[in-house]
Amino acid sequence: MDLLRILYVEDNDLVRDITCEFLALPNRSVMAVASAEEALEVFEPNAFDIVVTDVSLPAMSGLDLARQLLQRAPSVSIVIATGYGLNGEDAALGERVRIILKPFEPSQLEQIFEELHPTVKDGRTRPNL
Instruction: Domains for the chain: give ranges and CATH numbers.
Output: 4-125 (3.40.50.2300)
pLDDT at 45: 84
Strands 124-125 and 120-121, how do they pair?
A: antiparallel
pLDDT at 122 > cutoff 60: no
Give the count of beta carbons closer than 10 Å to the beta carbon of residue 93: 18
pLDDT category of residue 86 using cuts at 50, 70 and 90: low
Q: Which amino acid is at 28?
A: R
Query: Would the pTM of this model clear 0.85, i.e. be above it?
Result: yes
91 vs 20, more confident = 20
Q: What is the mean pLDDT of residues 69-87?
A: 89
Spatial distance between the Cα atoms of 83 and 95, rounded to a whole number of angstroms? 21
Return d(Cα 19, Cα 38) in angstroms, integer: 18
Answer whether 31's CB lies under 8 Å from 57's CB: no
pLDDT at 95: 87
* Number of neighbours of residue 120 by Cβ within 10 angstroms: 22
